[in-house]
Amino acid sequence: MASFVDRMVGAAKLDVNIYEEVEADTSATTQAMTVVVLTAISAGVGQFASEGAPGLIGGMIGQLIAWFVWAFAAFIIGTKILPEPGTSSNMGELLRTIGFASSPGILYVVAVAPMAVMPGMAGTALTVLLTLAIWIWQLVAWVVAVRQALDYTSTLRAVAVCAISFIAYVIAAGIALFIIGIILVALGLAAGAAAGTG
Domain with 48 in it: 4-193
Q: Examine residue 152 and state whether it is found in any structural domain, yes or no.
A: yes
| Whether the predicted model's global pTM rises above the 0.85 cut | no
Inside any domain, residue 148 = yes
Question: Which candidate, 167, 158, 169, places its Cα nearest to that of 71?
Answer: 169
How much is the pLDDT for 78?
A: 95
pLDDT in tens, 162-198: 999 888 778 877 787 788 778 877 877 777 777 776 5
Q: What would the mean pLDDT of 152-159 be, rounded to a whole number?
A: 95
Domain count, the chain: 1
Q: Closest Cα partner for 99 from 19, 171, 166?
A: 19
Asked whether residue 198 is assigned to any structural domain, the reply reads no
**CB-based burial label for 75 (10 Å; 0-12, 13-18, 19+):** buried
For residues 75 and 91, the answer to whether their CB atoms sit within 8 Å is: yes
Instruction: Name the average pLDDT for the chain.
Output: 86
Beta-carbon contacts of 28 under 8 Å, excluding residues fewer than 6 positions away, are: 7, 21, 22, 96, 100
Is residue 115 a part of any domain in this protein? yes
Q: 137 exposed, middle or buried (CB, 10 Å; 0-12, 13-18, 19+)?
A: middle
The dihedral built from the CA positions of residue 84, 85, 89 and 91, taken in this order, carries a sign that is: positive
Domain assignment present for 99: yes
Helix residue ranges, H only, the chain: 4-12, 16-24, 29-76, 91-101, 108-111, 113-117, 121-149, 155-197
